[in-house]
Amino acid sequence: MKKSVVVAAMATALLGSTSAFAADLEVTHWWTSAGEAAAVAEFARVFEEETGNTWVDSALAGSGTGANPVIISRILGGNPMGATQMNTGRDAEELIQAGLMRDLTDIAEEMNIRDFYVDESLLEPCTYEGRIYCFPVNIHSWDWLWLSTAAYEEIGQPVPTTWDEYVASWPALEEAGILPFGLASGWPIAGVPGVLMAGIGGSDLVLEINRDKSVEAVRSPEFREVAEALDDIRSVVSPETMVPSFGDVGNQLLQGEAAGNIHGDWLQGDLQVAGGTPGEDYECLPGLGMNDQLTGGGDSFFFPVLPDGTDPEVIEAQTELAKLLISPEAQLAFNLKKGSMPIRTDIDLEAANPCMQKALVLLDNGLLPSGDFALSSDTQQQMQDLNIEFLDDDSISVDEYIDRYASIIESAD
Protein backbone atom coordinates (compact mmCIF):
# COMPACT_ATOMS: atom_id res chain seq x y z
CA MET A 1 0.00 0.00 0.00
CA LYS A 2 1.93 2.94 -1.30
CA LYS A 3 -0.74 5.36 -0.19
CA SER A 4 -0.50 4.29 3.38
CA VAL A 5 3.19 5.04 3.45
CA VAL A 6 2.57 8.52 2.15
CA VAL A 7 -0.20 9.20 4.62
CA ALA A 8 1.80 7.79 7.49
CA ALA A 9 4.72 10.00 6.52
CA MET A 10 2.44 13.00 6.43
CA ALA A 11 1.06 12.05 9.81
CA THR A 12 4.55 11.82 11.22
CA ALA A 13 5.56 15.17 9.82
CA LEU A 14 2.49 16.90 11.14
CA LEU A 15 2.45 15.29 14.51
CA GLY A 16 6.05 15.14 15.61
CA SER A 17 5.27 17.16 18.68
CA THR A 18 2.34 15.31 20.17
CA SER A 19 3.71 13.38 23.09
CA ALA A 20 2.04 15.37 25.85
CA PHE A 21 1.80 13.40 29.08
CA ALA A 22 2.69 9.77 29.45
CA ALA A 23 -0.58 7.96 29.32
CA ASP A 24 -3.25 10.42 28.40
CA LEU A 25 -5.44 8.74 25.83
CA GLU A 26 -7.77 10.88 23.78
CA VAL A 27 -11.00 9.08 22.99
CA THR A 28 -13.48 10.49 20.49
CA HIS A 29 -17.13 9.45 20.32
CA TRP A 30 -20.53 10.94 19.62
CA TRP A 31 -22.34 9.71 22.69
CA THR A 32 -23.76 13.01 23.81
CA SER A 33 -27.40 12.41 24.75
CA ALA A 34 -28.18 11.95 28.43
CA GLY A 35 -28.29 8.17 28.39
CA GLU A 36 -25.27 7.84 26.13
CA ALA A 37 -23.10 10.19 28.16
CA ALA A 38 -23.84 8.17 31.29
CA ALA A 39 -22.83 5.00 29.47
CA VAL A 40 -19.52 6.27 28.14
CA ALA A 41 -18.67 7.61 31.58
CA GLU A 42 -18.68 3.97 32.71
CA PHE A 43 -15.97 3.09 30.18
CA ALA A 44 -13.93 6.06 31.35
CA ARG A 45 -14.37 5.13 35.00
CA VAL A 46 -13.33 1.50 34.54
CA PHE A 47 -10.38 2.50 32.34
CA GLU A 48 -9.03 4.98 34.86
CA GLU A 49 -9.59 2.72 37.85
CA GLU A 50 -8.05 -0.36 36.30
CA THR A 51 -5.05 1.10 34.49
CA GLY A 52 -4.29 4.44 36.14
CA ASN A 53 -4.22 6.12 32.73
CA THR A 54 -6.23 9.22 31.95
CA TRP A 55 -9.24 9.07 29.62
CA VAL A 56 -9.29 12.37 27.73
CA ASP A 57 -12.87 12.64 26.63
CA SER A 58 -13.55 14.25 23.24
CA ALA A 59 -17.26 14.02 22.70
CA LEU A 60 -18.26 15.26 19.24
CA ALA A 61 -21.63 16.71 18.45
CA GLY A 62 -23.73 15.70 15.47
CA SER A 63 -23.83 11.90 15.80
CA GLY A 64 -23.07 9.74 12.78
CA THR A 65 -23.65 12.44 10.21
CA GLY A 66 -21.81 15.24 11.99
CA ALA A 67 -19.15 13.55 14.07
CA ASN A 68 -18.12 10.75 11.76
CA PRO A 69 -16.68 13.13 9.13
CA VAL A 70 -14.67 14.91 11.85
CA ILE A 71 -13.20 11.65 13.07
CA ILE A 72 -12.33 10.50 9.56
CA SER A 73 -10.79 13.85 8.61
CA ARG A 74 -8.65 13.85 11.73
CA ILE A 75 -7.29 10.42 10.95
CA LEU A 76 -6.77 11.22 7.27
CA GLY A 77 -5.26 14.59 8.12
CA GLY A 78 -2.58 13.04 10.28
CA ASN A 79 -3.99 14.11 13.64
CA PRO A 80 -5.23 10.77 14.98
CA MET A 81 -6.83 10.35 18.39
CA GLY A 82 -5.86 7.53 20.75
CA ALA A 83 -9.09 5.65 20.21
CA THR A 84 -12.41 6.35 18.62
CA GLN A 85 -15.92 5.02 18.50
CA MET A 86 -17.52 4.50 15.11
CA ASN A 87 -20.49 2.51 13.90
CA THR A 88 -19.96 -1.16 13.31
CA GLY A 89 -20.04 -1.29 9.56
CA ARG A 90 -18.22 -0.08 6.53
CA ASP A 91 -17.60 3.59 7.34
CA ALA A 92 -13.96 2.94 8.20
CA GLU A 93 -13.37 0.33 5.50
CA GLU A 94 -10.97 2.44 3.47
CA LEU A 95 -9.13 3.69 6.53
CA ILE A 96 -8.38 0.08 7.44
CA GLN A 97 -7.30 -0.72 3.89
CA ALA A 98 -5.02 2.30 3.85
CA GLY A 99 -3.29 1.00 6.98
CA LEU A 100 -4.39 3.87 9.21
CA MET A 101 -5.91 1.65 11.90
CA ARG A 102 -3.95 -0.37 14.38
CA ASP A 103 -3.89 -4.12 13.91
CA LEU A 104 -5.55 -5.68 16.96
CA THR A 105 -5.14 -9.32 15.95
CA ASP A 106 -2.61 -10.10 18.69
CA ILE A 107 -4.91 -8.78 21.39
CA ALA A 108 -7.82 -10.66 19.87
CA GLU A 109 -5.89 -13.93 19.89
CA GLU A 110 -4.61 -13.38 23.40
CA MET A 111 -8.17 -12.89 24.63
CA ASN A 112 -9.70 -15.58 22.41
CA ILE A 113 -12.43 -13.19 21.46
CA ARG A 114 -14.15 -15.59 19.11
CA ASP A 115 -15.10 -17.66 22.14
CA PHE A 116 -17.25 -15.02 23.73
CA TYR A 117 -18.55 -12.82 20.90
CA VAL A 118 -22.32 -13.25 20.64
CA ASP A 119 -22.25 -13.38 16.89
CA GLU A 120 -19.11 -13.76 14.84
CA SER A 121 -20.65 -11.84 11.97
CA LEU A 122 -20.14 -8.73 14.12
CA LEU A 123 -16.42 -9.05 13.55
CA GLU A 124 -16.73 -9.18 9.76
CA PRO A 125 -16.56 -5.41 9.20
CA CYS A 126 -13.53 -5.31 11.50
CA THR A 127 -11.69 -7.96 9.55
CA TYR A 128 -9.51 -7.23 6.55
CA GLU A 129 -7.28 -9.85 4.96
CA GLY A 130 -7.68 -12.04 8.01
CA ARG A 131 -6.54 -9.40 10.51
CA ILE A 132 -8.76 -7.66 13.04
CA TYR A 133 -8.80 -3.88 13.23
CA CYS A 134 -11.65 -2.99 15.58
CA PHE A 135 -13.68 -4.34 18.46
CA PRO A 136 -17.46 -4.06 18.46
CA VAL A 137 -18.52 -3.01 21.95
CA ASN A 138 -22.28 -3.33 21.78
CA ILE A 139 -25.16 -4.37 19.59
CA HIS A 140 -27.81 -1.92 18.58
CA SER A 141 -30.88 -2.77 16.65
CA TRP A 142 -33.34 -0.58 14.82
CA ASP A 143 -36.00 -3.27 14.97
CA TRP A 144 -38.24 -1.87 17.66
CA LEU A 145 -41.80 -0.70 17.62
CA TRP A 146 -42.42 1.55 20.61
CA LEU A 147 -46.02 1.93 21.72
CA SER A 148 -47.63 4.39 24.08
CA THR A 149 -49.72 2.84 26.85
CA ALA A 150 -51.40 6.18 27.54
CA ALA A 151 -52.59 6.56 23.95
CA TYR A 152 -54.22 3.12 23.91
CA GLU A 153 -55.84 3.70 27.29
CA GLU A 154 -57.43 6.79 25.86
CA ILE A 155 -59.04 4.97 22.94
CA GLY A 156 -59.89 1.99 25.16
CA GLN A 157 -58.04 -0.63 23.16
CA PRO A 158 -55.39 -3.09 24.29
CA VAL A 159 -51.84 -2.21 23.28
CA PRO A 160 -51.13 -4.03 19.97
CA THR A 161 -48.80 -7.01 19.94
CA THR A 162 -48.03 -7.10 16.21
CA TRP A 163 -47.57 -4.62 13.39
CA ASP A 164 -50.91 -5.58 11.79
CA GLU A 165 -52.86 -4.92 14.98
CA TYR A 166 -51.06 -1.63 15.28
CA VAL A 167 -52.00 -0.56 11.75
CA ALA A 168 -55.61 -1.63 12.39
CA SER A 169 -55.78 0.73 15.36
CA TRP A 170 -54.79 3.84 13.37
CA PRO A 171 -58.32 5.01 12.40
CA ALA A 172 -59.46 4.96 16.04
CA LEU A 173 -56.33 6.82 17.08
CA GLU A 174 -56.78 9.50 14.45
CA GLU A 175 -60.40 9.94 15.51
CA ALA A 176 -59.24 10.57 19.07
CA GLY A 177 -56.77 13.17 17.81
CA ILE A 178 -53.74 11.06 18.59
CA LEU A 179 -50.86 10.86 16.16
CA PRO A 180 -50.72 7.21 15.02
CA PHE A 181 -47.02 7.34 14.13
CA GLY A 182 -44.74 9.89 15.75
CA LEU A 183 -41.72 10.84 13.70
CA ALA A 184 -38.77 13.18 13.92
CA SER A 185 -37.70 15.01 10.78
CA GLY A 186 -34.55 14.02 8.90
CA TRP A 187 -32.62 10.77 9.30
CA PRO A 188 -34.92 8.80 11.65
CA ILE A 189 -37.10 7.74 8.71
CA ALA A 190 -34.02 6.17 7.11
CA GLY A 191 -34.07 3.28 9.57
CA VAL A 192 -37.76 2.50 9.21
CA PRO A 193 -37.76 0.55 5.90
CA GLY A 194 -35.11 -1.83 7.22
CA VAL A 195 -37.27 -2.56 10.25
CA LEU A 196 -40.32 -3.15 8.09
CA MET A 197 -38.19 -5.40 5.90
CA ALA A 198 -37.13 -7.56 8.85
CA GLY A 199 -40.55 -7.57 10.48
CA ILE A 200 -42.89 -7.93 7.52
CA GLY A 201 -40.56 -9.30 4.85
CA GLY A 202 -38.77 -11.77 7.06
CA SER A 203 -35.18 -12.86 7.63
CA ASP A 204 -34.60 -14.27 4.14
CA LEU A 205 -35.55 -11.01 2.49
CA VAL A 206 -33.10 -9.10 4.70
CA LEU A 207 -30.27 -11.48 3.86
CA GLU A 208 -31.02 -11.40 0.13
CA ILE A 209 -31.19 -7.63 -0.06
CA ASN A 210 -28.64 -6.42 2.50
CA ARG A 211 -26.09 -9.20 2.22
CA ASP A 212 -26.49 -10.53 -1.34
CA LYS A 213 -27.65 -7.24 -2.91
CA SER A 214 -30.23 -9.14 -4.91
CA VAL A 215 -32.32 -7.01 -7.24
CA GLU A 216 -34.85 -9.83 -7.75
CA ALA A 217 -35.52 -9.80 -4.01
CA VAL A 218 -36.35 -6.10 -4.19
CA ARG A 219 -38.84 -6.81 -6.97
CA SER A 220 -40.39 -9.74 -5.08
CA PRO A 221 -43.94 -9.69 -3.63
CA GLU A 222 -42.45 -9.78 -0.11
CA PHE A 223 -40.65 -6.50 -0.65
CA ARG A 224 -43.78 -4.97 -2.19
CA GLU A 225 -45.54 -5.60 1.14
CA VAL A 226 -42.71 -3.75 2.87
CA ALA A 227 -43.04 -0.81 0.48
CA GLU A 228 -46.80 -0.78 0.99
CA ALA A 229 -46.32 -0.66 4.75
CA LEU A 230 -44.06 2.35 4.26
CA ASP A 231 -46.78 3.85 2.11
CA ASP A 232 -49.21 3.33 5.02
CA ILE A 233 -46.87 5.23 7.32
CA ARG A 234 -46.64 7.99 4.73
CA SER A 235 -50.42 8.38 4.83
CA VAL A 236 -50.41 9.21 8.57
CA VAL A 237 -47.35 11.45 8.88
CA SER A 238 -46.99 14.98 7.57
CA PRO A 239 -44.30 17.65 7.90
CA GLU A 240 -46.51 19.71 10.21
CA THR A 241 -46.60 16.97 12.82
CA MET A 242 -42.92 16.05 12.72
CA VAL A 243 -40.78 16.95 15.71
CA PRO A 244 -37.16 18.07 15.58
CA SER A 245 -35.45 15.11 17.26
CA PHE A 246 -36.12 11.48 18.10
CA GLY A 247 -36.01 12.24 21.82
CA ASP A 248 -39.09 14.43 21.33
CA VAL A 249 -40.93 11.44 19.91
CA GLY A 250 -40.12 9.63 23.15
CA ASN A 251 -41.87 12.42 25.05
CA GLN A 252 -44.86 12.23 22.71
CA LEU A 253 -45.14 8.53 23.47
CA LEU A 254 -44.91 8.97 27.22
CA GLN A 255 -47.59 11.68 27.16
CA GLY A 256 -49.85 9.75 24.80
CA GLU A 257 -49.69 12.38 22.05
CA ALA A 258 -48.35 9.80 19.65
CA ALA A 259 -49.27 6.13 19.71
CA GLY A 260 -46.24 4.50 18.21
CA ASN A 261 -42.83 4.91 16.63
CA ILE A 262 -40.26 2.72 14.97
CA HIS A 263 -36.83 3.62 16.25
CA GLY A 264 -33.65 1.99 17.42
CA ASP A 265 -33.14 0.70 20.96
CA TRP A 266 -31.17 3.82 21.91
CA LEU A 267 -34.54 5.57 22.18
CA GLN A 268 -35.01 3.56 25.33
CA GLY A 269 -32.19 5.40 27.08
CA ASP A 270 -34.11 8.63 26.54
CA LEU A 271 -37.41 7.07 27.59
CA GLN A 272 -35.83 6.00 30.85
CA VAL A 273 -34.17 9.35 31.49
CA ALA A 274 -37.61 10.95 30.93
CA GLY A 275 -38.98 8.72 33.68
CA GLY A 276 -40.76 6.06 31.61
CA THR A 277 -41.05 2.48 32.82
CA PRO A 278 -41.24 -0.32 30.26
CA GLY A 279 -44.47 -2.26 30.56
CA GLU A 280 -46.22 0.63 32.31
CA ASP A 281 -45.63 3.80 30.32
CA TYR A 282 -44.56 2.22 27.08
CA GLU A 283 -44.44 -1.17 25.41
CA CYS A 284 -41.75 -2.47 23.12
CA LEU A 285 -42.14 -4.90 20.25
CA PRO A 286 -38.82 -6.19 18.93
CA GLY A 287 -39.00 -7.25 15.27
CA LEU A 288 -42.44 -5.58 15.10
CA GLY A 289 -43.69 -8.60 17.06
CA MET A 290 -43.41 -10.66 13.90
CA ASN A 291 -39.82 -11.79 13.41
CA ASP A 292 -37.75 -13.82 15.85
CA GLN A 293 -34.48 -12.41 14.58
CA LEU A 294 -33.20 -8.85 14.86
CA THR A 295 -31.14 -6.89 12.39
CA GLY A 296 -28.23 -5.35 14.15
CA GLY A 297 -25.16 -3.24 14.01
CA GLY A 298 -23.81 -1.21 16.86
CA ASP A 299 -20.67 0.60 17.82
CA SER A 300 -17.06 -0.41 17.50
CA PHE A 301 -13.84 1.01 18.83
CA PHE A 302 -10.96 1.72 16.49
CA PHE A 303 -7.40 2.50 17.48
CA PRO A 304 -5.70 4.63 14.84
CA VAL A 305 -2.03 4.01 14.12
CA LEU A 306 -0.18 6.68 16.05
CA PRO A 307 2.72 8.50 14.41
CA ASP A 308 6.33 7.42 14.96
CA GLY A 309 7.83 8.91 18.06
CA THR A 310 4.68 8.61 20.09
CA ASP A 311 5.31 7.79 23.71
CA PRO A 312 5.23 3.96 24.04
CA GLU A 313 3.10 4.39 27.13
CA VAL A 314 0.31 5.85 25.01
CA ILE A 315 0.46 2.85 22.71
CA GLU A 316 0.40 0.62 25.75
CA ALA A 317 -2.65 2.54 26.97
CA GLN A 318 -4.34 1.80 23.63
CA THR A 319 -3.73 -1.90 24.20
CA GLU A 320 -5.07 -1.71 27.73
CA LEU A 321 -8.18 0.15 26.62
CA ALA A 322 -8.83 -2.33 23.81
CA LYS A 323 -8.74 -5.23 26.25
CA LEU A 324 -10.82 -3.42 28.78
CA LEU A 325 -13.66 -2.34 26.52
CA ILE A 326 -14.64 -5.93 25.87
CA SER A 327 -14.00 -7.16 29.40
CA PRO A 328 -17.04 -8.48 31.30
CA GLU A 329 -17.01 -5.72 33.90
CA ALA A 330 -16.93 -2.82 31.43
CA GLN A 331 -19.41 -4.50 29.10
CA LEU A 332 -21.98 -4.91 31.86
CA ALA A 333 -21.63 -1.40 33.28
CA PHE A 334 -21.69 0.22 29.84
CA ASN A 335 -24.55 -1.65 28.23
CA LEU A 336 -26.94 -1.34 31.16
CA LYS A 337 -26.66 2.43 30.91
CA LYS A 338 -26.68 2.50 27.13
CA GLY A 339 -29.70 0.29 26.62
CA SER A 340 -27.80 -1.77 24.09
CA MET A 341 -26.95 -5.45 24.14
CA PRO A 342 -23.49 -6.59 25.23
CA ILE A 343 -21.25 -8.42 22.77
CA ARG A 344 -20.32 -11.11 25.31
CA THR A 345 -22.35 -14.21 25.93
CA ASP A 346 -20.99 -14.80 29.41
CA ILE A 347 -22.55 -11.85 31.18
CA ASP A 348 -25.31 -12.08 33.69
CA LEU A 349 -27.90 -9.51 32.66
CA GLU A 350 -30.45 -9.89 35.43
CA ALA A 351 -30.40 -6.16 35.94
CA ALA A 352 -31.63 -5.56 32.39
CA ASN A 353 -35.12 -4.23 31.91
CA PRO A 354 -37.96 -6.24 30.28
CA CYS A 355 -37.32 -4.81 26.81
CA MET A 356 -33.66 -5.76 26.89
CA GLN A 357 -34.60 -9.20 28.19
CA LYS A 358 -36.85 -9.71 25.15
CA ALA A 359 -33.98 -8.70 22.88
CA LEU A 360 -31.53 -11.07 24.55
CA VAL A 361 -33.84 -14.00 23.79
CA LEU A 362 -34.02 -13.00 20.13
CA LEU A 363 -30.27 -12.51 20.00
CA ASP A 364 -29.81 -16.26 20.56
CA ASN A 365 -31.34 -16.82 17.12
CA GLY A 366 -28.46 -15.00 15.46
CA LEU A 367 -28.18 -11.50 14.15
CA LEU A 368 -29.31 -10.30 10.73
CA PRO A 369 -27.14 -7.73 8.94
CA SER A 370 -28.81 -4.33 9.08
CA GLY A 371 -28.39 -1.74 6.35
CA ASP A 372 -26.02 0.26 8.57
CA PHE A 373 -23.95 -2.84 8.94
CA ALA A 374 -23.87 -4.28 5.42
CA LEU A 375 -24.16 -1.33 3.06
CA SER A 376 -21.50 1.26 2.31
CA SER A 377 -22.04 4.81 3.54
CA ASP A 378 -22.64 5.87 -0.06
CA THR A 379 -25.47 3.37 -0.51
CA GLN A 380 -26.92 4.29 2.89
CA GLN A 381 -26.95 7.95 1.90
CA GLN A 382 -28.80 7.16 -1.33
CA MET A 383 -31.34 5.06 0.58
CA GLN A 384 -31.85 7.87 3.05
CA ASP A 385 -32.39 10.39 0.24
CA LEU A 386 -34.93 8.06 -1.36
CA ASN A 387 -36.83 7.39 1.86
CA ILE A 388 -36.97 11.03 2.88
CA GLU A 389 -38.23 11.97 -0.57
CA PHE A 390 -40.79 9.16 -0.69
CA LEU A 391 -42.18 10.07 2.69
CA ASP A 392 -42.80 13.67 1.72
CA ASP A 393 -43.84 13.35 -1.90
CA ASP A 394 -47.14 11.52 -2.37
CA SER A 395 -46.69 11.51 -6.14
CA ILE A 396 -44.02 8.79 -5.89
CA SER A 397 -45.90 5.51 -6.27
CA VAL A 398 -45.01 2.26 -4.55
CA ASP A 399 -43.88 0.91 -7.92
CA GLU A 400 -41.55 3.81 -8.47
CA TYR A 401 -40.19 3.40 -4.95
CA ILE A 402 -39.42 -0.25 -5.67
CA ASP A 403 -37.77 0.64 -8.97
CA ARG A 404 -35.56 3.21 -7.38
CA TYR A 405 -34.74 0.96 -4.44
CA ALA A 406 -33.77 -1.75 -6.90
CA SER A 407 -31.48 0.54 -8.85
CA ILE A 408 -29.67 1.61 -5.68
CA ILE A 409 -29.20 -2.02 -4.66
CA GLU A 410 -28.04 -2.84 -8.19
CA SER A 411 -25.26 -0.25 -8.04
CA ALA A 412 -24.36 -1.02 -4.41
CA ASP A 413 -20.91 -2.43 -3.83
Partner 1 sequence: MTQATSSDEVRYQDEGKARRSLGRVLTHNLSAKIAATPMVVTVLVVFIGCTLWTIWYSFTDSRLLPTGDFVGFEQYERLFNTSRWNRSVSNLIWYGAFSLVLTLSLGFLLAVLLDQKVRFESAFRTIMLYPFALSFIVTGLVWQWIMNPTLGLQGTLRNMGWESFTFDWIAQSDMVIYALLIAGLWQGTGFVMVLMLAGLRSIDDDIWKAARVDGIPAWRTYLFIVLPMMRGVFVTAVVLVGAGIVRLYDLVVALTNGGPGIASEVPAKYVYDYMFTAGNIGQALAASTMMLVTVMIIIVPWAYLEFGGRSKKS
> Which positions lie near partner 1, rule CB under 8 A?
3, 64-65, 68-69, 72-73, 76, 91, 93-95, 98, 185-186, 238-240, 242, 376-378, 380-382, 385, 388-389, 391-393, 411
Phi, psi of 162, rounded to the nearest 5 degrees: -140, 170
Contact status, residue 170 vs residue 180, Cβ threshold 8 Å: yes
Other beta carbons within 10 angstroms of residue 156's beta carbon come to 8
Q: Which is nearer to partner 1, 76 or 111 (CB)?
A: 76
Closest approach, Cβ 223 to partner 1, in A, equals 20
Closest approach, Cβ 284 to partner 1, in A, equals 28
Using DSSP, how many helices (H) and how many strands (E) does the chain show? 21, 12
Q: Which is nearer to partner 1, 76 or 333 (CB)?
A: 76
Q: Which is nearer to partner 1, 95 or 332 (CB)?
A: 95
Q: Which is nearer to partner 1, 125 or 199 (CB)?
A: 125
Spatial distance between the Cα atoms of 46 and 238, rounded to a whole number of angstroms: 45
Phi, psi of 237, rounded to the nearest 5 degrees: -115, 150
Closest approach, Cβ 36 to partner 1, in A, equals 20
Torsion of CA 338, 283, 207, 132, to 10 degrees: 10
Q: Which is nearer to partner 1, 25 or 75 (CB)?
A: 75
Closest approach, Cβ 366 to partner 1, in A, equals 29
Q: Which is nearer to partner 1, 94 or 120 (CB)?
A: 94
Give the three-state DSSP class for 90. coil
Closest approach, Cβ 93 to partner 1, in A, equals 8
Closest approach, Cβ 400 to partner 1, in A, equals 10
Closest approach, Cβ 189 to partner 1, in A, equals 10
Q: Which is nearer to partner 1, 116 or 128 (CB)?
A: 128
Spatial distance between the Cα atoms of 225 and 37, rounded to a whole number of angstroms: 39
Closest CA to 117 of 287, 288, 290, 296: 296
Cα 191 to the chain's mean position, in Å? 10
- Sequence letter at residue 5: V
Contact status, residue 321 vs residue 30, Cβ threshold 8 Å: no
Closest approach, Cβ 380 to partner 1, in A, equals 7
Orientation angle between helical segments 188-196 and 221-236, nearest 10 degrees: 140
Give the three-state DSSP class for 259. strand
| Strand 179-181, strand 258-262: pairing | parallel
Contact status, residue 293 vs residue 367, Cβ threshold 8 Å: yes
Q: Which is nearer to partner 1, 182 or 289 (CB)?
A: 182
